[in-house]
Amino acid sequence: MTMAPKPKHWDGNYGAWFKDAQVAAAYPHRPPYPAAAIHVLAQLAGAADGPSRDGRAVLDIGCGTGDVARRLAPLVNRIDAVDFSGAMIAQGQRLPGGAHPAIHWTESAVETAPLSPPYALVTAGESLHWMRWDVVLPRLRAALAPGGSLAVLNRDWDQPPALRDRLRPIFAQFSANKDYRPRNLLAELAQRGLFRERGRRRCGPEPWHPTLEEYLLCRHSQNAFAREQMGPADVAAFDAAIAAALGELCRQGAVREAGGRYLLQVEATVVWGEPMGDPD
């Protein structure tokens, strides 16, 4: 039976926009994952049955600048951090923790990357949707130690709801990804028989206090708002619309501001389970 095609807006060609140097440069402005999310990952890495060949080895797929790998490295024996964007990896290597000896950075597509299994845990922070699921999920299944998990993480920094609602039409107007449709990654994987969930945890909230400039850069670290793809006129109009919306919400009291910083929060969801599927 052939597998339903992936939703179009998650096509790998869009994922490749993370190779842009400007996206990589903006990425460190994203809020860090809450500490509780990293703690859940460390626990999962220790939960696989039996010692893996290399102690608690972790594979971080679509590692980007290492928002997961750099935090997890001191808590595990080895973390293989794989990403096809050399710009994201180079940025990650320069960030705090990027030179930790437990991290092995590899610039490669996850579909074909050299792996060193068995892994006690595979982490996918905001990345799996871009990949070829029919290839990657069976690969991960084969690479995990018995009882090992795939953990899929996402940050939510769109709170409060008034901010999310106010920004939604601006996003719809300016998104460079014209194929965008709201979809649930885990539901899509489960429908295709590629993932069986074992558990999930909502982590945080933790405070996140960006300046306007940092907030805008954070938005431009998002694939749909990559500056190279939007073009300068749309970037300027998008930035002005976001700044106006934030200003209005502050005046209404829906968003709080102090010392030139917005008093926002970040939460994360960690869902873990078993990757499924057979290789072709």
Ligand X SMILES: C[S@@+](CC[C@H](N)C(=O)[O-])C[C@H]1O[C@@H](n2cnc3c(N)ncnc32)[C@H](O)[C@@H]1O
Which of 38, 57, 72, 88 binds ligand X (CB under 6 A)? It is 88
Name the residue nearer to ligand X (CB basis): 171 or 255.
171
Residue reference for tokens 């994201």? 88
Q: Which stretch binds ligand X (CB under 6 A): 106-114, 168-176, 212-220, 239-247?
A: 106-114
Contact code string over 56-75 relative to ligand X, x by CB under 6 A: ------xxx--xx-------
Which of 15, 118, 204, 273 binds ligand X (CB under 6 A)? It is 15
Residues 129, 130, 133, 135, CA torsion sign: negative
Cα 142 to Cα 8: distance, rounded to the nearest angstrom: 27
**Pairing mode, strands 119-125 and 144-156:** parallel
Tell me how far, at minimum, the Cβ of 252 lies from ligand X, in Å.
31
Tell me how far, at minimum, the Cβ of 254 lies from ligand X, in Å.
27
Tell me how far, at minimum, the Cβ of 120 lies from ligand X, in Å.
18
Cα 139 to Cα 232: distance, rounded to the nearest angstrom: 40
Which of 18, 174, 215, 262 binds ligand X (CB under 6 A)? It is 18
Contact between 176 and 207 under an 8 Å Cβ cutoff? The reply is no
Number of residues located near ligand X, criterion CB under 6 A: 21
Residues in the chain, overall count: 280
Does residue 34 interact with ligand X by CB under 6 A? no
Does residue 28 interact with ligand X by CB under 6 A? no
Name the residue nearer to ligand X (CB basis): 110 or 235.
110
Does residue 225 interact with ligand X by CB under 6 A? no
Residues whose CB is less than 8 angstroms from the CB of residue 27 and which lie 6 or more positions away in sequence, other chains included: 64, 65, 88, 91, 221
Which of 105, 130, 215, 272 binds ligand X (CB under 6 A)? It is 130
Q: Which stretch binds ligand X (CB under 6 A): 49-57, 103-111, 137-145, 265-273?
A: 103-111
Name the residue nearer to ligand X (CB basis): 166 or 229.
229
Which residues of this chain interact with ligand X, rule CB under 6 A?
A: 12, 15, 18, 62-64, 67-68, 82-85, 88, 109-111, 125-127, 130-131
